[in-house]
Amino acid sequence: MVDKDTLWKGIIEDLIEDFLHFFFPEQVDQIDFGRGFIFLDKELEQLSPQSESKLRHADKLIRAFLKNGEEKWFLIHVEVQGYNDPDFAFRMFQYSYRIRDRYNQSIVALAIYTDANRLYHFPEYREEFWETETLYRYRTFIVLDHEPLALRHSGNLFGLVMEVARRELDMDKKDDEQRLYIKTEMVRHLFRQGVSKRKIRHLLDFIKYYIDFEETAFFNKFDDDIQMITKSRRAMGIREAIIEELKRKAQEEGLELGLKEGREEGREEGREEGREEMREENTRMVISRAHKKGIPVEDIAELVDVPVEKAKAIIEELMKGEKDGNE
């Protein structure tokens, strides 16, 4: 099973722009997104005490630039469910002064609490002794305080990430069938949003692994459901529609050929080889027809799910064969 801290670190990095719009809506217009972001995980790791190496938390240190040219560092800390840390507030303060001491940088700090134990949802670190007081206050987001559908309809894609975290808090009351339904329903919503394939892949991984199943067989059921949703929800622009039609025709022709070969072969090994050859021939047929219709090779490769170089090689091979046949 993938650790939740790994999932959080990955999804924050993969959806960093959505993340910043979600948690810093008042200030996000000051960020120069065109300059990109630098993720300083190694630097943060060097500042973390060795004693914390086995604790379950997800930390991200992100370097960003403002439109006025200033450089800002974001310290993102996600508290993972099941890990209650009474020293958490001090650790946030500790990171802050260590970053200031090592790199002479102030930070914007955010703590995201994904567990259900409010006793450890600290908003600040405070220390006082003989009229000397230290107060370090940071931004917090408590998942438990938000309804799942409110997070979904926040108008930001990262709201769906937070919805997954919120629903996970109630999973101990659900069986695998209920968990499968909830996860699949979130995926259906995702596919209705018209987001890029890259972001969809990242979110699918987060949904799949963040909410666990009791029985591993349900992960396969989830994958099967995703395939069905993908087929039914695929965006049908002109290029996609052409490819779909070419695939359908190729499958019909390939199926007829495969059945004939299967009857002649009669052995399971031969049938499996025949199916593999049929899939390969179908792919070649679709690539050939799409190329003749003028679809760019990059689009063809993406739509039939093969590397661009393989699609190019097939096209070159087919063109050479046609040329040789005409000589």
- Write the DSSP string, 80-95: PTT---TTHHHHHHHH
Same domain, 15 and 130: yes
17 inside domain: yes
Counting the structural domains of the chain, the total is 2
**Cα–Cα distance, 89 to 135 (Å, whole number):** 11
Beta bridge partners of residue 62, listed in sequence order: 39, 74
What's residue 65's pLDDT?
A: 86
223 inside domain: no
> What is the phi/psi pair of residue 161, to 5°?
-60, -45
pLDDT tens profile 67-115: 888 888 887 776 554 467 888 889 889 888 888 888 888 888 888 988 8
Neighbouring residues of 180: CB distance < 8 A, sequence distance ≥ 6: 213, 218, 221, 222, 225
pLDDT tens profile 5-15: 888 888 998 99
257 inside domain: yes
10 inside domain: yes
What's residue 250's pLDDT?
A: 60
The closest alpha carbon to 60, from 45, 79, 75, 38, belongs to 75
Burial classification of residue 10, based on how many CB atoms lie within 10 Å of its CB (0-12 exposed, 13-18 middle, 19 or more buried): middle
74 inside domain: yes
Q: How confident is the model at residue 211 (pLDDT cuts 50, 70, 90)?
A: confident
pLDDT tens profile 277-311: 666 777 787 788 777 767 777 777 766 767 778 88
Q: Tell which of 169, 189, 221 closes a domain.
A: 169
Q: 195, 155 in Cβ contact below 8 A?
A: no
Q: 114, 80 in Cβ contact below 8 A?
A: yes
What's residue 302's pLDDT?
A: 67
Same domain, 9 and 139: yes
Which amino acid is it at 288? S
- The pTM assigned to this predicted structure is 0.66
**Cα–Cα distance, 116 to 84 (Å, whole number):** 10
270 inside domain: yes
The DSSP letter of residue 294 is: T
**Cα–Cα distance, 295 to 293 (Å, whole number):** 6
Same domain, 257 and 147: no
Same domain, 114 and 10: yes
Q: Tell which of 138, 169, 200 closes a domain.
A: 169
Alpha-carbon separation of residue 82 from 113, 117, 156, 175, 289 (angstroms): 11, 9, 27, 20, 54
What's residue 194's pLDDT?
A: 81
Tell me the pLDDT of the chain averaged across its residues: 79
263: containing domain: 238-326
Q: Tell which of 144, 169, 194 closes a domain.
A: 169
Q: How confident is the model at residue 259 (pLDDT cuts 50, 70, 90)?
A: very low
